[in-house]
Structure 1
């Protein structure tokens, strides 16, 4: 049945994007960033506007037009790379995803990042902090390319980010999911093995690795990974969706149907639920197809 193939690719993009809203701000925010405040420039002692990345990104989700306008104005006042990054994040929310992805990828390649003055961008040596920041921007670029349905570009951005921070777990997860989408499951398995030590990251990696094992036809290993993930997070839609595909591959249609119905019940408005409904519909059309 075509359901497994359809859901397999879509699930990978879905899983990568599911964490976007929560991850995007944390990835680019400086350590110990101040609490979000309204996007209204303050006046310094000399009457100059006090621009900041935290201030620019504070309303990216709620008011992307305002955040973009702030970023463009900041660019006119020497905002440099951070202003460009904020503008790209606003463009993602406004639907101009491909342009934003290209901009973020370009920013990730600038050494010594971030630099406030565009005239000196790339002239500073890298530090441990700048490498982490560039890797986070590369991850944002990869996720944006995924949202744009451009897996090859997403893979390239993630791979570049890993040259900057080889142990960055979010980047490894993006890389793995896109590798599976590009039918390179062994790359995904290699980058996710050994599994991350942090439980939440480990469970996410187990779901991604299960999809890679499935692509290789190693259903038993895939099922072991997905069941380990579900032991920790039994209500996780992406994991249940993947296990339904595995049950389908084994010809266990009743179990597949039960998992997909659970996805719909747990989060009826989610993208996972939409994918589960597609598979349930196909299952009703041809209930005995593997």
Structure 2
């Protein structure tokens, strides 16, 4: 078209206006660019990306929006995103979807690997040791992924691996409260309650996080046989959230240890009533069943 423009220009100034109508993205066709581009744009080949606009639509927020309600959809979105060049966040979303779908071991391995990749979210898993530079933001992101890995290992009944993931995450972001909570809970599972208490003291300043820490610390106190301190912590948590299943379950256990079976039964029945499909309700039913078998057992 540029050659045509030169010919028309030689033919005479009157033809310049004609050239402006015929040429698409050249300077002499600016007035009709939109129409000309539409007519002249070549048809994309099969599998060829038409533009980068589709890539701009991919996002971690979109991917995780349906994790709880539609984990299959989240997984499909993540895999499609990966097929279109998705990176670390696409892999993270796929792992979280697998976790929701019950494939917790695969999710844990993937999340653990991703947590060790520097430079989030633009790092490359293939060159994880190649000198990518972390920022404060990327360290926080990696710590979050490490916390997710620890929770996946917990769901897989692998407390040692969960402890390792949480420990690594705390090297990235020592003050991360969700990581500290996971670390403390796993420490109790591994019969290290004092480590849990040290991790949760002082308590977090945010009320919700503080209450979660109180529940975890109460469990640690109980494992050490310090029922009075445990009861103080659990009652403080229940003052803020009286319908919390985990707190009621723990207080029921503490009542049982003190020989107050009626109070224990009442708390466990409340757990079942409030959240019948929860893990806490399953544990409460087990405790109630044992209580019926041996009502006087401490």
TM-score bracket relative to the smaller structure: 0.7 to 0.9
1:84 aligns with 2:91: yes
How much does 1:165 deviate? Answer: 0.6
How much does 1:81 deviate? Answer: 1.1
Name the SS of the counterpart of 2:186 in structure 1. Answer: helix
| 2-structure distance, mates of 1:264, 1:64 | 26
How much does 1:119 deviate? Answer: 5.7
- Report the equivalent of 1:7: none
Q: Give runs of aligned pairs for residues 63-212 of structure 1, distance below 5 A.
A: 63-115=70-122, 123-212=131-220
| 2-structure distance, mates of 1:231, 1:110 | 41
- Report the equivalent of 1:60: 67
Aligned CA RMSD, in angstroms, stands at: 1.9
Name the SS of the counterpart of 1:49 in structure 2. Answer: helix
TM-score, reference length from structure 1: 0.80
* Alpha-carbon distance change, 121 to 186 in structure 1, aligned in 2, over 3 angstroms: same
| 1-structure distance, mates of 2:277, 2:97 | 24
| 1-structure distance, mates of 2:125, 2:230 | 48
How much does 1:45 deviate? Answer: 4.8
How much does 1:92 deviate? Answer: 1.3
How much does 1:175 deviate? Answer: 0.6
Q: Do the aligned partners of 1:142 and 1:157 also contact (CA within 8 Å) in 2?
A: yes
- Report the equivalent of 1:20: none
Task: Give a deviation string over 1:184-237, Cα, whole Å, max 9, x none.
Answer: 101100000000111111111111000000001111111111111111112211
Bigger Rg over Cα: 2
How much does 1:77 deviate? Answer: 3.0
What is the aligned length? 248
* Alpha-carbon distance change, 57 to 270 in structure 1, aligned in 2, over 3 angstroms: closer
Name the SS of the counterpart of 1:74 in structure 2. Answer: helix
Q: Do the aligned partners of 1:79 and 1:116 also contact (CA within 8 Å) in 2?
A: no
For structure 1, list consecutive stretches of 5 or more residues without a partner in the other structure.
1-42
For structure 2, list consecutive stretches of 5 or more residues without a partner in the other structure.
1-48
| 2-structure distance, mates of 1:174, 1:118 | 25
- Report the equivalent of 1:250: 258
Q: Do the aligned partners of 1:113 and 1:126 also contact (CA within 8 Å) in 2?
A: yes
